[in-house]
Every structure is written in C-alpha cells, then in structure tokens.
A = this chain, B = another copy of it.
Amino acid sequence: MSESSLSSRARGGAGGKKPKRASKSAVPASPPLASATAHAKRRGGDKRDRILEAAIKVFARSGFHATRVSEVAKAAGVADGTIYLYFESKEDLLVSLFEDRVERLLAFMRGELPKQPNAPAKLRAVIDMQLGLLEGERELAEVITIILRQSTRLMKEFAAPRFLAYLDAIAKIVAEGQAAGDFRKDISPHIAARAVFGALDGITLTWALGRAEQGALRRAATQLADVLLRGLSP
C-alpha cells in the first residue's frame, strides 16, 4: 500500500491523532476512530468535535438531505450559526466528517500493513481492520456506507477518488501476492479489489442497517477472509 494512495488531505484544523498500537488481530481493543474529544477536550477541537459527533448521529438517523442544519446544531448544543464558524456548509460538514474519521482508519491501516509478512496476511489484515474498526461505530458505518453517497456531487467529486485510491491499495496487495506466488494469477487484481471492497461494504451496510449485533462484524471478517483467501489461492 503506497503512502500516496491513502494519504489524506489536511482540512480544517483536524489534527491527525495517530493511533499506534497493533494487537495480534491487527485491531486494537479501543477504537481509534472514536472522537478525539475524550482526550482532547482541551482546545478549539472541542466545539468542532462536538459538532462532528452530533452530525454523525443525526445524519445516520435521517440521512443527509433530510437533516436540517439546525438539528445538528441542537444535537451539538450550539447555535445554528456556530456550525458555520467551523464548516463552510452542510456539505462541507459531511466531507469533513468523512475526512476526519476515515482518515484515522486509513492512517491506522497505513501503519499496520507493513507489519504483515505477506500478501495473504495483508489482505486478511485489511478485512479485519475495516470491519473491526467499524464495530462499535454503527452510526459512522452508516454514514460511510450510505449517507456519503447521498450527495451526488460529493460522491462523484470527493468520495470516488478516495474509494479508488483504496481500491488501488487493495489491488496492489493482490498483485504483490500474485507475484510472490501466494495468489492465483488468472484473476485481475483490479476485479479482485472491487470484489473485496464490495464485500466489505455490503457486509458493513447490511450490518449497519440491521441490528448491528456486537461481534457480528468480527465474525464476518474472519469468514470473509477465509473465503476470499481460499478463493484467491493458487
């Protein structure tokens, strides 16, 4: 996974609080996606983060278009106008949400992947991490899998490139595995990457829309990895 493919674009004042640990399962016990508020209630980020936090909740409940800015403001306990001190528009709020939270996920993955010995391990790590990190963040999962796609402009201009970069990163792992003889060579890395990403997305989506049972995502991760790794084996 190249640095560039997952690199983030700095935005607002969202500092990149880097999570650093990795357990054997490649997913830390405490979620690195959780709001930084807990530790960083100190300065500035405070109000901005309260707004982001509230936005996740409200967007997940009602969707992007059906959500009124005033609802987010109310949920965040600030005045309507205050939102605009931290975000340019309602759309920017959604983008910032995505950048702020997804960037943490990607940064974490960027740190973990190099630790894996080979392509199969990396692929499993990607699956474990994506699902493992969203476990316990049902609302965020919903925002990423559904809400983000509700603004066509956002989807096409902003999210698509990010998704493509992520796909590229997965495709690289597949290609690396093929080169090393760990994966069958008759499968296009690109198609494989889309299948992996789609499967992850589909599992997340149905989980988020359903009862979002605790542990379900991690269990699904294991099984998905089992199927895909065997499916890609030479």
Q: Is the CB of B224 within 8 A of A195?
A: yes
Q: Is the CB of A152 within 8 A of B153?
A: no
Copies in the complex: 4
Q: Is the CB of A152 within 8 A of B62?
A: yes
C-alpha gap A194/B229 in the complex (Å): 17
Of the candidates B151, B194, B199, B229, which one forms a contact with A195 in the assembled complex, judged by CB atoms under 8 Å apart?
Answer: B199
- Smallest distance from the beta carbon of A99 to chain B beta carbons, Å? 20
Question: Interface readout for A178-203 with B: 1 if CB under 8 Å, 0 if not?
Answer: 00000000111001101111111111
Q: Is the CB of B203 within 8 A of A201?
A: no
Q: Is the CB of A66 within 8 A of B202?
A: no
Question: Interface readout for A205-234 with B: 1 if CB under 8 Å, 0 if not?
Answer: 110010000000001100110111111110
Can you name the residue of chain B whose Cβ is closest to the Cβ of A209? Answer: B160
Q: Is the CB of B191 within 8 A of A220?
A: yes
Other A-B contacts than A187-B227, A201-B201, 15 sampled, CB-CB below 8 A, are A65-B152, A66-B152, A66-B153, A163-B206, A167-B206, A188-B223, A195-B199, A195-B202, A195-B228, A197-B202, A202-B202, A226-B231, A227-B228, A227-B232, A230-B230
Could you name 30 residue pairs across A and B whose Cβ atoms are closer than 8 Å? A63-B151, A64-B152, A66-B152, A66-B153, A146-B155, A147-B152, A149-B149, A155-B209, A167-B206, A186-B223, A186-B226, A187-B226, A188-B219, A191-B203, A191-B220, A191-B223, A194-B202, A194-B220, A195-B224, A197-B202, A197-B206, A198-B198, A198-B199, A198-B203, A199-B199, A201-B201, A202-B202, A227-B228, A227-B231, A230-B231
